[in-house]
Amino acid sequence: MTITLFLEQILNGLQFGVMLFLMASGLTLVFGVMGLINLAHGSLFMVGAFAAATISAWTGSFILALAAALAAAAIAGVFMEILVIRRLYGRDHLDQVLATFALILIFSEGTRWIFGSFPLYLDTPQWLSEPVSLPGGILYPSYRLAIIIIGLVIAAGLFVFISRTRLGIRIRAGENDREMIAALGVDISRLYTFVFALGAGLAGLAGALIGAIQSVQVGMGEPVLILAFVVIVIGGIGSIKGALIGSILVGLTDTLGRFLLPIAFGSFMESSSATLIGSAISSMAIYLLMAVILLVRPQGLFGSAS
């Protein structure tokens, strides 16, 4: 094991974590502000990826494709909120789970109906196809590096937005006391639609960025959604900071687990079975991490004890 390979895996973990953050931040905002669990967040991820693949095939421009992903997912989010989600705010979590599960069925089958069952392909742009050399002699794919940078910029932007802007202050106020800010003259239902659309747009952007690494297909959103849930359980519900730390923790654990565990097992058993056992256990690594967090801090690292 060389040190450059190890550093490369850390960057991969960071890239994975940053993508999870784009999903988890929307989920945690929606839960924090509206008290809603949204299983259909993964569908918005998928909508973004399909929009990007379609626009990229038409125009050949990756930037336009990203913009389309953001816009399509945000618009889908607005419709979703106005037509269905709005009726669920006062309901119990079981109703929210079922209604958003129904939305997954509708979105997934609808997408299959329009685009067919075969995966679409979204190419990484030409100008990000060459690897870049980083300090320390690491050659790293520039597209993945771009994802890390985009993700960190968005995370920073989100922090500034939530803590510094007027709208961000209203969102935080809505988290604390929705009756009070409604009484102060804030249009709470427009605020809710905005927060939901913001989360949807981030999910769509994540879908497009990941779609260029993997294939764009129906059902691509749900595995990421469940990982984002793990992130939120680890980070604590409603906390953007928790979502960021949790995402990077999960991203690193998963990537480094897959890389290091087979090597670790290989140090005391023969290599073929070490690879098998190591990879099987590393597929469970993040859930084991979640189990440990549940034992130590059930409310998550940055969650407030309730």
Partner 1 sequence: MKKSTRELIINLIALSGLLIVPLWAQVTDNPFTITLATKVAIFALAGVGLNIALGLGGLVSLGHAAFFGIGGYAVGILASHAQTYEPLMEWPFLIEGTKLMPIMWVVALVTSALAALVIGALSLRTSGIYFIMVTLAFGQMFYYFTISWPAYGGEDGLSIYVRNSFPGLNTLVPLQFFGICFVLLIICLFINWRIIHSTFGLALNAARQSQERVETVGLNPFRMRLIAFTISGAITGLAGALFADLNRFVSPAMFSWQTSGEILVFVILGGVSYLCGPLVGAAVFILLEHYLGGLSEYWHIYLGALLLVVVLFAKGGIIGALSGKGAAHG
Binding residues vs partner 1 (CB under 8 A): 31, 37, 84, 87, 93-95, 97-99, 101-106, 108-110, 112-113, 222-223, 226, 229-230, 232-233, 237, 276, 279-280, 283-284, 287, 290-291, 294-295, 298-299
Tokens for 78, please give them: 């607005």
CB closer to partner 1 out of 100 and 193: 100
Let me know if 165 is exposed, middle or buried by CB neighbors in 10 A (0-12, 13-18, 19+).
exposed
- Residue whose C-alpha is closest to residue 38's, from 82, 91, 103: 103
CB closer to partner 1 out of 58 and 113: 113
d(CA 14, CA 146): 12
d(CA 42, CA 202): 11
CB closer to partner 1 out of 60 and 219: 219
Q: How far is the CB of 204 from partner 1 (least distance, A)?
A: 20
Q: How far is the CB of 246 from partner 1 (least distance, A)?
A: 12
CB closer to partner 1 out of 141 and 235: 235
The answer to whether 33 and 274 have CB atoms below 8 angstroms apart is no
CB closer to partner 1 out of 63 and 294: 294
Q: How far is the CB of 127 from partner 1 (least distance, A)?
A: 35
Q: How far is the CB of 306 from partner 1 (least distance, A)?
A: 9
- Taking the alpha carbons at both ends of the chain, their separation in whole angstroms is 45
CB closer to partner 1 out of 43 and 56: 43
CB closer to partner 1 out of 69 and 243: 243
Q: How far is the CB of 118 from partner 1 (least distance, A)?
A: 14
**Residue written as tokens 């909120």?**
81
Q: How far is the CB of 229 from partner 1 (least distance, A)?
A: 4
Q: How far is the CB of 87 from partner 1 (least distance, A)?
A: 6
CB closer to partner 1 out of 149 and 269: 269
The answer to whether 242 and 303 have CB atoms below 8 angstroms apart is yes
Q: How far is the CB of 291 from partner 1 (least distance, A)?
A: 5
Tokens for 255, please give them: 């990537």
